[in-house]
């Protein structure tokens, strides 16, 4: 009897170098691909139209790519273990294949699926795929998780990396018509309003184009010098692709290694090589935060550092709203927030500036900002987002110490000296000479430009207030 197995697509919406799919196609004559939509009832408010629209586009593209191989993507909705059980019975599948997810929700569901397979007496195969090294593979000499990035990254960098697999040529025949599928989802499925942001093009092919552009245009080779400058493209812009697994991390790593030499095989100049190493270290940040969430899942609810659990956040709703709508009167902060609202993405430097401004200048709870980012970011990812927010708030693993508070005016002058980025996202300021964008208005009460608000707070006053809140909490503990 021909062997039928199921490949459960999750955060791996691609055919090329998909570890579980690769093994499934090696092991069976027929692979039934399925994606299970969640109904989000329990986690309302943790996503929004931008990311879900990107997901819809990715599923559409995946379905087409599978069709081109003579297969058919089955879409189901509900709890993954219950839906998989139905599908196993309908297809008589003898095994379930999937790639592992390190998020506590994904992990809990994997456990249920394992139990289901045991109960039904079929095989369950799970694989490492979305990371170069799993959380339990990068531990201290004493076998403990790292709490600080630098030693983690040294260990991570020193470990051997796996080479990519290819792309399967066939998944065998499509599942028969008796195996039903829901239509491809639209935003209505989650009762979300339309997506109005200009989000990246979805699908595996678009992601490959982005990777190619990043490397061939030299952005990778200049990354070390330019990555902190938010104007123009200075970074890879691959985070949404990594979020949904449109690209494999092994392939990105391999392309980086290949880029260390030029087309004739000559080593790249030292600065370009250093840039590539810097980029690879950023990939390690992603896995560091995944490992933190894996080992310390309580970071979802509370401060990673025990010193700051229960720290008060007296910021008001009105202040939060001004931050969220990009109308704080701090040009660099507003530019970042408006980039997020208009594109579903924000440059990393701006994520740090806006997050620190919300927590240290407006004293709003980092969890509010974390949720707001998850509602708007196309690349919204629990581990990196939580890690980034806790870092900025001064409460996290490897956090900036609480007393190191970035001055948004200085950040602006340093990383956007000509105001190119600010003027792109805050058009009211297009005629304001650059130096004036980086300092509070010289005549208090007078806006920088018509229709643009005056700065909502004085940075130095709020900095002192923030230090006092932290110090008082420390004293009272």
CB 373 → ligand FAD: shortest distance, Å?
6
Whose Cβ is closer to ligand FAD: residue 276's or residue 448's? 276
CB 376 → ligand FAD: shortest distance, Å?
10
Q: Site residues (CB under 6 A) for ligand FAD?
A: 227, 235-239, 242-243, 282-283, 285-286, 289, 348, 351-352, 355, 373, 377, 379-381, 384-385, 387-389, 392
Q: Name the strands in the sheet holding 95-99, side by side, starting at the edge strand that comes first in the sequence.
A: 74-77, 30-37, 4-9, 95-99, 123-127
Instruction: Quote the CA–CA distance of 62 and 57 in Å, as a whole number.
Output: 9
Whose Cβ is closer to ligand FAD: residue 76's or residue 161's? 161
Query: What values do phi and psi take at 450, rounded to 5?
Result: -60, 130
CB 40 → ligand FAD: shortest distance, Å?
17
Say how many CA atoms lie within 13 Å of 370 toward its Cβ. Answer: 22
> Which entry of 29, 313, 407, 428 is annotated as an active-site residue?
313
Whose Cβ is closer to ligand FAD: residue 190's or residue 285's? 285
On whether 442 is known to bind a ligand per the annotation, the reply is no
**Is 348 noted as a catalytic residue in this protein?**
yes
**What is the C-alpha end-to-end distance of the chain, expressed in Å?**
67
**Is 313 noted as a catalytic residue in this protein?**
yes
> Which entry of 294, 308, 323, 366 is annotated as an active-site residue?
366
On whether 359 is known to bind a ligand per the annotation, the reply is no
Instruction: Quote the CA–CA distance of 468 and 446 in Å, as a whole number.
Output: 30
Instruction: Quote the CA–CA distance of 395 and 389 in Å, as a whole number.
Output: 9
**Is 123 noted as a catalytic residue in this protein?**
no
* b/e per residue 225-242 (b: at least 16 CB within 10 A): eebbbbbeebbbbbbbbb
Whose Cβ is closer to ligand FAD: residue 95's or residue 242's? 242
Whose Cβ is closer to ligand FAD: residue 7's or residue 243's? 243
Instruction: Quote the CA–CA distance of 20 and 37 in Å, as a whole number.
Output: 19
Whose Cβ is closer to ligand FAD: residue 131's or residue 174's? 131
> Which entry of 156, 285, 294, 425 is annotated as an active-site residue?
285
On whether 337 is known to bind a ligand per the annotation, the reply is no
On whether 244 is known to bind a ligand per the annotation, the reply is no
> Which entry of 389, 391, 425, 462 is annotated as an active-site residue?
389
Sequence length of the chain is: 477
**Is 285 noted as a catalytic residue in this protein?**
yes
Instruction: Quote the CA–CA distance of 99 and 206 in Å, as a whole number.
Output: 22
On whether 231 is known to bind a ligand per the annotation, the reply is no
Instruction: Quote the CA–CA distance of 243 and 13 in Å, as a whole number.
Output: 10
CA–CA–CA angle 135, 136, 139 (5° rounding): 95
CB 48 → ligand FAD: shortest distance, Å?
12
CB 123 → ligand FAD: shortest distance, Å?
32
On whether 284 is known to bind a ligand per the annotation, the reply is yes
Q: Where do runs of H (alpha helix) occur along 75-144? A: 80-91, 104-120
Instruction: Quote the CA–CA distance of 204 and 225 in Å, as a whole number.
Output: 29
On whether 413 is known to bind a ligand per the annotation, the reply is no
CB 233 → ligand FAD: shortest distance, Å?
8
Q: Which residues are catalytic?
A: 282, 285, 313, 348, 366, 389
Residue ranges at the known binding site for FAD: 223, 235-239, 279, 282-289
Annotated binding site: 223, 235-239, 279, 282-289
């Amino acid at each position: 009897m021909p062997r039928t197995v199921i490949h459960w697509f999750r955060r791996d919406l691609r055919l090329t170098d998909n570890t579980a799919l690769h093994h499934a196609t090696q092991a069976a004559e027929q692979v039934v691909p399925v994606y299970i939509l969640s109904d989000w009832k329990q986690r309302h408010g943790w996503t929004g139209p931008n990311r879900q629209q990107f997901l819809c586009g990715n599923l559409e593209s995946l379905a087409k790519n599978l069709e081109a191989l003579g297969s058919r993507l089955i879409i189901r909705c509900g709890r993954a273990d219950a839906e998989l059980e139905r599908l196993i019975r309908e297809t008589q599948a003898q095994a379930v294949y999937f790639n592992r997810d390190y998020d506590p929700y994904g992990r809990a569901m994997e456990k249920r699926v394992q139990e289901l397979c045991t109960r039904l007496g079929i095989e369950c195969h799970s694989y490492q795929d979305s990371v170069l090294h799993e959380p339990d593979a990068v531990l201290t000499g004493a076998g403990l998780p790292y709490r600080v990035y630098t030693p983690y990254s040294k260990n991570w960098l020193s470990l051997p990396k796996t080479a990519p697999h290819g792309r399967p040529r066939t998944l065998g025949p499509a599942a028969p018509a008796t195996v039903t599928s829901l239509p491809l989802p639209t935003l209505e499925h989650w009762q979300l309003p339309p997506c109005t942001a200009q989000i990246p093009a979805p699908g595996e092919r678009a992601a490959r184009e982005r990777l190619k552009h990043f490397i061939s245009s030299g952005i990778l080779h200049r990354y070390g010098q330019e990555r902190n400058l938010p104007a123009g493209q200075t970074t890879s812009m691959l985070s949404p692709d990594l979020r949904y697994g449109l690209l494999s991390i092994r392939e990105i790593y391999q392309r980086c290694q290949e880029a260390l030499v030029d087309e004739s095989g000559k080593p790249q100049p030292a600065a370009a090589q250093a840039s590539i190493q810097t980029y690879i270290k950023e990939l390690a940040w992603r896995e560091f935060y995944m490992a933190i969430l894996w080992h310390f899942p309580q970071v979802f609810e509370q401060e990673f550092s025990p010193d700051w659990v229960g720290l008060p956040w007296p910021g008001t709703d009105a202040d939060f709203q001004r931050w969220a709508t990009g109308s704080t009167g701090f040009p660099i902060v507003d530019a970042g927030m408006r980039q997020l609202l208009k594109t579903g993405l924000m440059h990393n430097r701006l994520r740090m500036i806006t997050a620190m401004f919300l927590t240290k200048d407006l004293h709003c709870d980092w969890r509010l900002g974390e949720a707001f980012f998850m509602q708007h970011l196309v690349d919204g990812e629990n581990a990196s987002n939580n890690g980034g927010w806790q870092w900025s708030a001064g409460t996290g693993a490897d956090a900036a110490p609480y007393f190191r508070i970035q001055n948004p005016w200085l950040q602006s002058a340093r990383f956007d000296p000509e105001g190119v980025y600010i003027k792109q996202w805050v058009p009211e300021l297009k005629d304001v000479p650059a130096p004036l964008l980086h300092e509070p208005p010289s005549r208090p009460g007078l806006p920088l430009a018509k229709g643009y608000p005056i700065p909502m707070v004085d940075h130095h006053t709020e900095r002192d207030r923030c230090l006092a809140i932290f110090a008082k909490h420390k004293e009272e503990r």
